[in-house]
Amino acid sequence: MNEIDYRKYFEILQDAAKLINSSFSLNVALESIMEAVTKSMNSEAASLLMLNQRTKNLYFKAVTGNVADDLRNITVKLGEGIAGWVAQERKSLIVSNTNEDPRHKKDIDNSTGFQSRSIIASPIEYQGEVLGTLEVLNPLDKEHYDENDLVLLEALSSQVAIALRYCDSYFKLNQENTSLKQVIDLEHKMIGQSKEVNDIFELIRKIAPFDVTVLVTGESGTGKELVARAIHDNSPRKSKPFVAINCTALPENLIESELFGHERGAFTGAVSVRKGKFETAFGGTLFLDEIGDMGFSVQAKILRVLETGVYERVGGDQQLKANVRIVAATNKNLQELVAEGKFREDLFYRLNEIHIELPALKLRKSDIPLLINHFINLFSNSFNKKVTGVSQEVLDVFMSYDWPGNIRELKNVIKAAVVLADTKTLTLSDLPEGIKNTTIKRFPMTTEMGSLDELEKQYILRVLRENNWKKNASAKILNISRPTLDSKIKLYGITIEK
Ligand SMILES: Nc1ncnc2c1ncn2[C@@H]1O[C@H](COP(=O)(O)OP(=O)(O)OP(=O)(O)O)[C@@H](O)[C@H]1O
Ligand SMILES: [Mg+2]
């Protein structure tokens, strides 16, 4: 056996750790690691098989080589074939010649046309639990694998175990966004898991039940309307109408009749009585969108309704009772408009009982992978396309671009790309010029990756931070018990930053 080139091994391991830590999606991380494993072991193909704990079947989670696509629908029973044997016995294995090993199952080779010659495989274990098998096939520069290869493969498989255990629970929870809904018990259609978004969910949960007026601000496309709907959907008014009016879209004289309705003959063209938005929203929520564009005289009328709870239809004198909760939104700075004399100060304070400020997407980029996933699924389904993800380059570009149009822009870019895509993975060529030429900013590593312990510490820190230092929620996401988390916090000397 040759001397192990430790330097080379260490570099390969470090690269794998970096890939895991710098990737924003588990699938992207695993695909990149498998590419790196195949290349570093100078082999024809490699597979990562994951064990489904319920069915006890192994399935191909990430694969390289020219029959990769054919393997994705195949499952292997625990104990069956080389991969199944390795996962069941929890032992690594070198098969020098597949023809001579009775454990080798020929069906997969027969169905894909791939000829396995020599295989090396190692179980992926985390804290005593088998997660799957890592296997590499057909060395390109020699007859069969040797003990040196096994040392490297086992080390790589413990890196993969960490990626699977931490990222998988982390990303799975985030993608479905269910855990979060349970934790804060909130109905909403907003995707996000960053601290900024969590704080907003928490605020909505607190204020939704009470009839306070809410002012939602934020750049265009940040989700102001979704927030308004979430407030309504989580309030006692949820079974009554949510009615929106866009104050920019209509000239001042029409806005008045839109809001309050008009009597027959109130003005030329008013041929019949018409209900206004205050009336149709009775019992529910009235969403005054783009409130910063509302003219001065309508502002005064709105203020009056808010103060007195009554109003009249245009051209009428019968007082009608207003029973609405008001949520207003604007992408303008209302305080500046007040200072310029364009917005009534008294109305501003009346609307601003609670203020929700939505962050620009560039300030919460950690949500981008989740949003990408969400929009790809959405448009793949609605356009009946088979797009499942984005390439690493597209992810890098999306993470580097500043998104002046925020989530709306991201949504529209993905929509167009899904329509244009000829492949399952969106590539740079599917993106518009202005975005695809974005200079990639490399994301800083949280630390110089030295050891597996360091990597574990960094993951724990990241999950704690993302979860606002809530230990129970973090332990759940990390899939470890609360006492285990406490002992790791102590072991790694992690100090709570709150
Ligand atoms: N957190 C989110 N998760 C999923 N989709 C989102 C999210 N935020 C916004 N969107 C989507 O992005 C688009 C823009 O959102 P919305 O209309 O609420 O933004 P806005 O702040 O009201 O923008 P504008 O100021 O231009 O009116 C919508 O299609 C919305 O569904
Ligand atoms: Mg809007």
32-61 pLDDT, tens digit each: 788 888 988 899 999 999 888 778 899 898
231, 210 in Cβ contact below 8 A? Answer: no
Ligand 1 contact, 369 CB (< 6 A):
no
Per-residue confidence (pLDDT) for residue 185, from 0 to 100:
45
Sorted by where each starts, the structural domains of the chain and their CATH numbers stand as 6-176 (3.30.450.40), 195-361 (3.40.50.300), 364-436 (1.10.8.60), 452-491 (1.10.10)
Please say if the pLDDT value at position 174 is more than 70. Answer: no
Q: How far is the CA of 411 from the centre of ligand 1 (A)?
A: 9
Per-residue confidence (pLDDT) for residue 450, from 0 to 100:
52
Q: How far is the CA of 226 from the centre of ligand 2 (A)?
A: 8
Q: Six-digit token pair at 75?
A: 């499952």
Neighbours of 27 (CB within 10 A): 17
- Range from 160-174, 244-258, 355-369, 478-492 carrying the lowest mean pLDDT: 160-174
In angstroms, the CA 295 to CA 301 distance is: 10
Q: Which atom of ligand 1 is nearest to the CA of 374?
A: 4
Name the closest ligand to CA 407.
1
Beta-carbon neighbours within 5 Å of ion ligand 2 = 225
Q: How far is the CA of 41 from the centre of ligand 2 (A)?
A: 53
Q: Which atom of ligand 1 is nearest to the CA of 197?
A: 1
In angstroms, the CA 270 to CA 420 distance is: 47
Q: Percent helix, strand, coil in the chain (nearest 5)?
A: 50, 15, 35
In angstroms, the CA 53 to CA 32 distance is: 25
Query: What's the angle, vertex CA 127, arms to CA 126 and CA 130, rounded to 5?
Result: 45
Per-residue confidence (pLDDT) for residue 74, from 0 to 100:
86
Ligand 1 contact, 150 CB (< 6 A):
no
Q: How far is the CA of 221 from the centre of ligand 2 (A)?
A: 7
In angstroms, the CA 107 to CA 293 distance is: 68
- Which of 210, 246, 229, 202 lies closest to 285 in space, CA to CA? 229
Q: How far is the CA of 360 from the centre of ligand 2 (A)?
A: 14
Count of residues for the chain? Answer: 498
Ligand 1 contact, 190 CB (< 6 A):
yes
Q: Quickly list H helices, 330-481.
A: 334-339, 345-351, 368-382, 392-400, 406-420, 433-436, 452-466, 471-478
Q: Six-digit token pair at 100?
A: 């001579």
Q: Is 333 left (phi over 0), alpha (psi -120 to 50) or beta?
A: beta
| Amino acid found at 106 | K
Neighbours of 110 (CB within 10 A): 9
Please say if the pLDDT value at position 167 is more than 60. Answer: no
Name the closest ligand to CA 412.
1
Please say if the pLDDT value at position 168 is more than 60. Answer: no
Per-residue confidence (pLDDT) for residue 28, from 0 to 100:
67
Q: How far is the CA of 239 from the centre of ligand 2 (A)?
A: 22
Ligand 1 contact, 244 CB (< 6 A):
no
Average of per-residue pLDDT values in the chain: 85
Name the closest ligand to CA 191.
1
Please say if the pLDDT value at position 444 is more than 70. Answer: no
- Which of 86, 91, 83, 87 lies closest to 116 in space, CA to CA? 83
> Which residues are within 8 A (CB) of 206 and not within 5 positions of it... i.e. 6 or more apart?
none
Q: How far is the CA of 332 from the centre of ligand 2 (A)?
A: 12
- Range from 35-39, 237-241, 260-264 carrying the lowest mean pLDDT: 35-39
Per-residue confidence (pLDDT) for residue 4, from 0 to 100:
57
- pLDDT confidence of 111, banded at 50, 70, 90? confident
Ligand 1 contact, 222 CB (< 6 A):
yes
Ligand 1 contact, 389 CB (< 6 A):
no
In angstroms, the CA 307 to CA 216 distance is: 20
Per the DSSP assignment, residues forming a β-bridge with 286 are 243, 326
* Of residues 270 and 178, more confidently modeled: 270
Q: How far is the CA of 98 from the centre of ligand 1 (A)?
A: 55
Ligand 1 contact, 221 CB (< 6 A):
yes
- pLDDT confidence of 235, banded at 50, 70, 90? very high
